[in-house]
């Protein structure tokens, strides 16, 4: 009988021999681990805070369901990554959906890692497949946004896994052909993280298939592809062709806010190639006990993985950033009890204070509980800061008060600086509807109507614009029109007190403008203009003047030695008594404020009397860089 | 060693599924093509033209323009559209979503066959189903035919514009793009992604030719050079030019230097406003790499800006206003009283000498600020923007386009400016001529007061300008949701050939051609190159 000589692919010599079989233990372990990861990301982290961004995340992508957006995005180098990232990032809007995205990403990283490493003939601890999940947990616990960068890597690793799968069944030139085809696809889809694909393929050839020549050829080809495709086909500059979508891209490194915690991304990028090399250099052999007791091993691996995961999540959690993001999210959604609660976690944070003050106004406590928090003069209007966050956070107060142009200015800056986020488009549309700029409103609504989660409101508004072009039936628009400033004043920078006075001139019953004006004067210790304008309180429908405003009026009377009429309001006898006590304590210390501080702090810390003496002075210079 | 067993059954399933899906889709496509609804012969009529957007009714179009795709804005469940002319095959199709996208080849054949004639656009709307009568009772409504005139003269095939967001002081993505007007292809000339999100400023060409181009750059990392492109060579000039114009000889680039300040309005429809705290003009001599000026171009007591050379190169036209404030830092109280005259100064290229300054249009006489002079290639027609005050018409809703016949004799020593009928209630600005002088392109905010769109209008031999139309886009509803503005549209005879990479490389180069500003320049701070304190957005 003639013996048929069959040629086995070379890779077969070094490929692990385990036949494919369904491993229930592995599945359960993975299910349990990733299930816990999911629950933590959903309930512990909350991707909706990242979606909102709070003006801290400046590279969150927008996504539209239009063909133009798809064509434009997909035609770019790394277009698949960009499109997928933009789409998946929108799912962060719902915490439960966002957690699925991140967990799935972590799982896919783990699958690719386990497969590639195993096929390279490298034996590693089984829990190593959870390391990408640990790194992602650390990233999301710090509320860092690296979806495009990690998505590009994931795509590169999936291509690498596909290559390994095919190469293990092919030989010679076919293997190189597969590498070439996948190279082109991978680079087009993932951008510069393609270089990780090249590295993994070369390491597989070197360590798994033991084909050093092939490895060298792959490295040579791999290093030329970005030039060939990126520079010559896409017309990019050479550095861009080699760095696009990678963690060393200028689009990340040039911005401090976009390169926070970059070490974690670098670690994720280095993980698989590093493990392939390290596993070969220092092979891991399971202890005899583990070999004979598979169940003990599985349980041990599971317990250890969960413990490490919990440790990573716990240690890397950034409570301050969490509070900053949460605070702005709650304020944007008018969740005032949560705003107050979160405010305690951010002492001294002017942005948080700004939201707190807004929450106090909306719960009708601005005039009575303002000094329950340590106030600073600049927080009320986020004055003297040119940071984009001030625009992001500050537009809401301007809009609610009636300063529509100021809000439009802030939002338009956000549109450019932080991207066309749905919340920005929504408010720009509303402002332009209120201003009667229907054409402009339609453009913003048109864009919004092609987003994933804000289309309903936009379509309703577009329908309303058709049926009622003047929007007479829209309550929000009517409110904005009722408070909107109508006196034009050209200025380089909007002066808050002048603006509020103009608002009150138009609408003397604008309670927000009045309370903010009084608060502004109090925080700046400007008692003369406060006294000049406090009479407007008569238009606000108060039964009694808010406590702090009256305290300020009393300080005015005491310091200026001038009487002050509280139009139609009955003075609070208790407050008169309190200021007397305050003065007596100060007098007992011969007017030495420093010496009297501890005694006054006990009883008067939450009063304007105390702030007037011990409060911080307003900053006058702009020092914060964008 | 054995290989893991190959499990190909899943793959086969997948392939089979895909094939079945494709077959199903093909069948659906064939069925849907075969069953296109068509209007009945005796359908109801409506005695008006249908509402379509963009509005292309009664416009004059160039014979080489891309298809005028549009949305039919009438209630219905679809529309049937027939585009026809006296000659050639008509285009007809049913559009269930009422977004009319015309086939490019058929459109060009039809337009070419009817060059100098007319196109008729017949629109039939299929009615909304009546709940009681059911779908079978669907009826058709015919509207009056839309007429489109096709001019005999073609438009330059490439339009260059700056595409930016309607931002105020911040920017991220922007670029200068060239659009093929015969198709919908848009390609970047230079985007700021290539130099770390710096600012790409205005672009200028010499007599509609792409071989000579100037682009201003401002970048925190790479400085603020001016790029001069001359027949494929990029020269990086070590200072930034403001508004720029090429002398027709191509040997001189005249530019303004502006100390711009942005102002914000508290209650106006447009939030932004702009003023020049100071400005003057100078000329860059390409041959010698030197800059010079004249006292008339850099008067210490006046603001000079928006230079433009006459096509014969004998006059430099520009806007000029008295400088009424001394303080260069605080907002002048009377800044909204500043109005610019239109002046011109003669120039002799051979002797490099400037003549006397003369007023072409007086702001006082017109009661408006006269800006952005542009002259038709035959030298006859001058187009300007006029607005209530100031130097930045694109932010002024009052800005309208005016025409001056330069061959007509002055009346009482003044030329006569005629307001064009193509203006709207919104701002019109940034106009320019095609190389044959028959087409003008301009920026208008008539569709929305923030987003500037490009309009094209035909100017006939008598100088009459016909109803303009917005730059056609492949997606007929693009402008409904497009968050970009098109700024400074300029027509050129063929595409810019130099690659974006070469331009970006020039931006990033540290080697610039050093130029020295003349020390005799009248306006203070000349030569510092630091006059740009704020970006000019649109």
Let me know whether A189 and A308 are in one domain: yes
Chain B residues with CB inside 8 Å of A409's CB? 168, 264, 271-272
Say whether B266 and A447 touch across the interface (CB within 8 A).
Answer: no
Q: Is the pLDDT of residue B78 over 90?
A: yes
Could you give the CA distance from residue A448 to residue A429 in angstroms, rounded to a whole number?
9
Q: What are A360-375's pLDDT values in tens digits?
A: 999 999 999 999 999 9
Average pLDDT score over residue span B158-176: 89
Tokens, residue A120 = 């390279």
Say whether B331 and A237 touch across the interface (CB within 8 A).
Answer: no
Q: What is the mean pLDDT of chain A?
A: 89
Could you give the CA distance from residue A396 to residue A410 in angstroms, rounded to a whole number?
9
Q: What are A401-446's pLDDT values in tens digits?
A: 999 999 999 999 999 889 999 999 999 999 999 999 999 999 999 9
Q: Is the pLDDT of residue A12 over 70?
A: no
On the 0-12 / 13-18 / 19+ scale of CB atoms within 10 A, B531 is buried
Say whether B170 and A67 touch across the interface (CB within 8 A).
Answer: no
Chain B residues with CB inside 8 Å of A248's CB? none
Chain B residues with CB inside 8 Å of A403's CB? 266
Say whether A492 and B499 touch across the interface (CB within 8 A).
Answer: no
Say whether A437 and B269 touch across the interface (CB within 8 A).
Answer: yes
Structurally, how many domains does chain B consist of?
A: 2
Say whether B336 and A490 touch across the interface (CB within 8 A).
Answer: yes
Let me know whether B118 and B263 are in one domain: no
Chain A residues with CB inside 8 Å of B477's CB? 446
Q: What are A516-532's pLDDT values in tens digits?
A: 999 999 999 999 999 99
What does A278-318 look like in DSSP terms, one character per residue? HHHHS-----HHHHH-HHHHHHHHHHHHHHHHHHHHHHH--
ipTM attached to this prediction: 0.89
Say whether A169 and B7 touch across the interface (CB within 8 A).
Answer: no
Query: Which residue from B441, B375, B366, B376 is spatially nearest to B398, judged by alpha carbons?
Result: B366
Q: What are A255-291's pLDDT values in tens digits?
A: 888 889 999 999 999 999 999 998 888 776 655 555 5
Q: Is the pLDDT of residue A47 over 90?
A: yes
A304 belongs to a structural domain = yes
Tokens, residue A430 = 């509303």
**Do residues B165 and B171 touch, judged by C-beta distance below 8 A?**
yes
pLDDT band at residue B19 under the 50/70/90 scheme: low
Could you give the CA distance from residue B271 to residue B537 in angstroms, rounded to a whole number?
13
B288 belongs to a structural domain = yes
Let me know whether A330 and A227 are in one domain: no
Q: What is the span of the domain harbouring residue A459?
A: 322-483
Pairing status of strand B99-100 against strand B79-85: unpaired
| pTM for this prediction | 0.90
Percent of chain B predicted with pLDDT > 90 = 70
Chain B residues with CB inside 8 Å of A436's CB? 269
**Do residues A580 and A573 touch, judged by C-beta distance below 8 A?**
no
Q: What are B478-508's pLDDT values in tens digits?
A: 999 999 999 999 999 999 999 999 999 899 8
Q: What is the span of the domain harbouring residue B94?
A: 44-150
| Strand-pair partners of B348 | B353
Let me know whether B139 and B164 are in one domain: no
Let me know whether A148 and A101 are in one domain: yes
Structurally, how many domains does chain A consist of?
A: 2
Q: What are A162-186's pLDDT values in tens digits?
A: 999 999 998 888 999 999 999 999 9
**Do residues A190 and A78 touch, judged by C-beta distance below 8 A?**
yes
Q: What is the pLDDT of residue A351?
A: 94
Let me know whether B86 and B178 are in one domain: no
| CATH number for the domain that contains residue B287 | 2.120.10.30
> Which of A71, A121, A166, A237 would best serve as a mutation to test chain B binding (most B beta carbons within 10 A)?
A237
A64 belongs to a structural domain = yes
Let me know whether B146 and B228 are in one domain: no
Q: What is the mean pLDDT of chain B?
A: 88
Q: Is the pLDDT of residue B129 over 90?
A: no
pLDDT band at residue A4 under the 50/70/90 scheme: very low
Phi/psi-derived region of residue B58, left when phi > 0, alpha when psi is between -120 and 50, beta in every other case = left
Q: What is the pLDDT of residue A145?
A: 96
Let me know whether B83 and B172 are in one domain: no
Let me know whether A125 and A229 are in one domain: yes
| CATH number for the domain that contains residue B113 | 2.60.40
Q: Is the pLDDT of residue B535 over 70?
A: no
B22 belongs to a structural domain = no
Boundary residue ending a domain (A432, A448, A483): A483
Task: State phi, psi for B403 to the nearest 5 degrees.
Answer: -120, 140
Among A334-343, A451-460, B34-43, where is mean pLDDT lowest?
Answer: B34-43
Q: Is the pLDDT of residue B17 over 70?
A: no
Cβ partners under 8 Å of residue A72, min gap 6: none
Let me know whether A268 and A121 are in one domain: yes
Select the residue of B272, B451, B478 nearest A440 (Cβ to Cβ).
B451
- Three-state DSSP at B536 gives coil
On the 0-12 / 13-18 / 19+ scale of CB atoms within 10 A, B257 is buried
Q: Is the pLDDT of residue A3 over 60?
A: no
Range among A140-144, A487-491, B41-45 rated most confident? A140-144
DSSP annotation of B242: S
Secondary element (H or E) of residue A359? helix A350-362
Could you give the CA distance from residue B305 to residue B326 in angstroms, rounded to a whole number?
18
Q: Is the pLDDT of residue A384 over 90?
A: no
Q: What is the pLDDT of residue A2?
A: 44
Q: What are A183-228's pLDDT values in tens digits?
A: 999 999 999 999 999 999 999 999 888 899 999 999 999 999 999 9
Could you give the CA distance from residue A106 to residue A133 in angstroms, rounded to a whole number?
5
pLDDT band at residue A21 under the 50/70/90 scheme: low
> Which of A254, A415, A490, A500 would best serve as a mutation to test chain B binding (most B beta carbons within 10 A)?
A490
| CATH number for the domain that contains residue A340 | 1.25.40
Q: What are B303-362's pLDDT values in tens digits?
A: 999 999 999 999 999 999 999 988 777 888 888 899 999 999 999 999 999 999 999 999
B302 belongs to a structural domain = yes
pLDDT greater at residue B529 or residue A333: A333
pLDDT band at residue A386 under the 50/70/90 scheme: low
Select the residue of B167, B196, B272 nearest A416 (Cβ to Cβ).
B167
Peptide bond into B523 cis (omega under 30): no
Pairing status of strand B209-218 against strand B199-206: antiparallel
């Amino acid at each position: 009988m003639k013996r048929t000589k069959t040629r086995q692919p070379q890779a077969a010599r070094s490929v692990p021999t385990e036949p494919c079989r369904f491993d229930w233990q592995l599945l359960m372990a993975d299910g349990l681990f990733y299930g816990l990861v999911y629950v933590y990301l959903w309930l512990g982290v909350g991707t909706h805070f990242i979606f909102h961004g709070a003006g801290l995340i400046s590279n969150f992508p927008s996504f539209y369901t239009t063909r133009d957006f798809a064509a434009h995005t997909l035609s770019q180098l790394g277009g698949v990554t960009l499109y997928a990232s933009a789409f998946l990032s929108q799912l962060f809007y719902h915490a439960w959906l966002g957690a699925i995205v991140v967990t799935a990403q972590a799982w896919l990283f783990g699958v690719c890692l386990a497969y590639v490493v195993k096929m390279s003939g490298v034996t590693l601890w089984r829990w190593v497949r959870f390391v990408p999940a640990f790194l992602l947990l650390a990233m999301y616990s710090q509320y860092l946004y690296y979806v495009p960068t990690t998505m590009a890597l994931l795509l590169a690793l999936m291509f690498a896994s596909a290559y390994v799968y095919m190469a293990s069944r092919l030989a010679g030139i076919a293997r190189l052909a597969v590498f070439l085809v996948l190279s082109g696809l991978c680079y087009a889809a993932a951008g510069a993280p393609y270089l990780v694909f090249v590295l993994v393929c070369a390491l597989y050839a070197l360590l798994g298939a033991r084909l050093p020549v092939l490895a060298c050829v792959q490295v040579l080809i791999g290093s030329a592809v970005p030039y060939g495709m990126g520079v010559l086909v896409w017309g990019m500059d050479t550095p861009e062709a080699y760095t696009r979508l990678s963690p060393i891209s200028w689009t990340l490194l040039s911005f401090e806010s976009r390169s926070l915690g970059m070490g974690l991304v670098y670690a994720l990028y280095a993980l698989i190639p590093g493990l392939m090399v390290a596993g070969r250099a220092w092979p891991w052999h399971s202890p005899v006990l583990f070999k004979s007791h598979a169940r003990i091993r599985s349980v041990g691996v599971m317990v250890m993985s969960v413990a490490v995961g919990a440790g990573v999540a716990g240690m890397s959690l950034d409570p301050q950033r969490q509070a900053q993001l949460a605070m702005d999210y709650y304020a944007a959604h008018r969740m005032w009890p949560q705003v107050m609660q979160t405010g305690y976690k951010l002492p001294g944070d002017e942005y948080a204070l700004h939201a707190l003050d807004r929450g106090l106004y909306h719960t009708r406590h601005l005039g009575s509980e303002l000094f329950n928090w340590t106030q600073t003069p600049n927080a009320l209007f986020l004055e003297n800061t040119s940071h984009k966050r001030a625009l992001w956070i500050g537009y809401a107060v301007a809009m609610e008060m009636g300063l529509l142009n100021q809000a439009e200015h802030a939002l338009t800056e956000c549109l450019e600086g932080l991207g066309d986020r749905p919340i920005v488009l929504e408010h720009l549309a509303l402002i332009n509807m209120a201003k009667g700029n229907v054409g402009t409103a339609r453009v913003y609504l048109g864009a919004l109507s092609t987003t994933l989660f804000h289309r309903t409101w936009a379509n309703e508004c577009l329908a309303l614009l058709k049926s009622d072009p003047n929007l007479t039936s829209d309550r929000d628009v009517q409110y904005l029109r009722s408070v909107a400033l109508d006196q034009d004043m050209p200025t380089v920078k909007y002066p808050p007190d002048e603006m509020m006075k103009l608002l009150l001139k138009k609408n003397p019953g604008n309670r927000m403008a009045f309370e903010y004006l009084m608060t502004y004067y109090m925080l700046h210790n400007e008692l003369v203009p406060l006294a000049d304008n406090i009479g407007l309180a008569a238009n606000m429908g108060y039964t009694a003047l808010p406590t702090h405003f009256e305290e300020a009026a009393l300080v005015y009377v005491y310091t200026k030695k001038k009487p002050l009429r509280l139009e139609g309001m009955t003075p609070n006898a208790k407050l008169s008594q309190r200021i007397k006590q305050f003065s007596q304590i100060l007098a007992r210390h011969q007017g030495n404020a420093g010496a009297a501080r501890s005694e006054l702090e006990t009883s008067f810390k939450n009063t304007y009397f105390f702030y007037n003496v011990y409060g911080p002075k307003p900053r006058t210079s702009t020092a914060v860089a964008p | 060693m054995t290989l893991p067993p190959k499990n190909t059954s899943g793959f086969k399933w997948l392939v089979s599924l895909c094939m079945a899906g494709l077959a199903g889709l093909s069948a659906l496509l064939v069925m849907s093509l075969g069953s296109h609804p068509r209007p009945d012969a005796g359908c109801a009529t409506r005695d008006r033209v249908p509402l379509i957007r963009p509005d292309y009714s009664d416009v004059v179009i160039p014979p080489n323009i891309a298809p005028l795709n549009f949305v039919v804005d009438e209630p219905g469940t679809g529309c049937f559209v027939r585009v026809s002319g006296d000659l050639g095959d008509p285009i007809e199709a049913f559009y269930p979503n009422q977004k009319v996208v015309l086939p490019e080849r058929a459109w060009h054949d039809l337009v070419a066959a009817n060059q100098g004639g007319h196109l008729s656009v017949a629109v039939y709307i299929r009615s909304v189903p009546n709940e009681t009568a059911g779908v079978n009772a669907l009826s058709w409504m015919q509207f009056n035919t839309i007429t489109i005139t096709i001019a005999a003269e073609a438009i330059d095939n490439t339009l260059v514009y700056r595409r930016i967001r309607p931002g105020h002081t911040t920017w991220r993505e922007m670029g200068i793009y060239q659009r093929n007007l015969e198709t919908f292809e848009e390609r970047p000339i230079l985007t700021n992604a290539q130099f770390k999100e710096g600012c790409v400023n205005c672009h200028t060409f010499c007599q509609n030719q792409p071989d000579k181009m100037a682009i201003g750059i401002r970048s925190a990392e790479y400085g603020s050079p001016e790029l001069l492109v001359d027949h494929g060579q990029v020269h990086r000039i070590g200072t930034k030019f403001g508004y720029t114009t090429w002398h027709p000889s191509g040997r001189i680039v005249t530019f303004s230097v502006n100390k711009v300040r942005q102002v914000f309005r508290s209650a106006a429809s447009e939030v932004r406003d702009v003023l020049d705290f100071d400005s003057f003009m100078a000329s860059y001599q390409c041959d010698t790499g030197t800059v010079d000026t004249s006292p008339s171009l850099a008067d210490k007591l006046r603001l000079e800006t928006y230079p433009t050379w006459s096509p014969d190169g004998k006059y430099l036209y520009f806007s000029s206003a008295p400088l009424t404030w001394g303080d260069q830092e605080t907002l002048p109280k009377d800044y909204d009283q500043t109005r610019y005259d239109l002046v011109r100064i003669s120039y002799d290229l051979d002797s490099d000498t400037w003549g006397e300054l003369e007023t072409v249009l007086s702001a006082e006489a017109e009661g408006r600020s006269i800006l952005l002079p542009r002259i038709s290639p035959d030298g006859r027609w001058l187009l300007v923007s006029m607005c209530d005050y100031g130097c930045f018409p694109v932010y002024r809703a009052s800005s309208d386009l005016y025409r001056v016949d330069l061959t007509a004799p002055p009346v009482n020593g003044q030329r006569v400016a005629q307001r064009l009928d193509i203006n709207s209630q919104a701002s019109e600005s940034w106009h320019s001529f095609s190389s044959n002088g028959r087409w003008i392109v301009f920026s208008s905010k008539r569709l929305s007061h923030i987003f500037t769109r490009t309009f094209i209008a035909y100017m006939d031999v008598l100088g009459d300008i016909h109803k303009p139309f917005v730059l056609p886009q492949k997606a007929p509803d693009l402008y409904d949701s497009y968050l970009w503005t098109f700024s400074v549209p300029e027509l050129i005879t063929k595409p810019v050939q130099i690659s974006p990479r070469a331009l970006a490389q020039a931006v990033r180069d540290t080697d610039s051609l050093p130029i020295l500003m003349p020390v005799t320049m009248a306006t203070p701070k000349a030569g510092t190159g630091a006059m740009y304190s704020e970006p000019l957005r649109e």
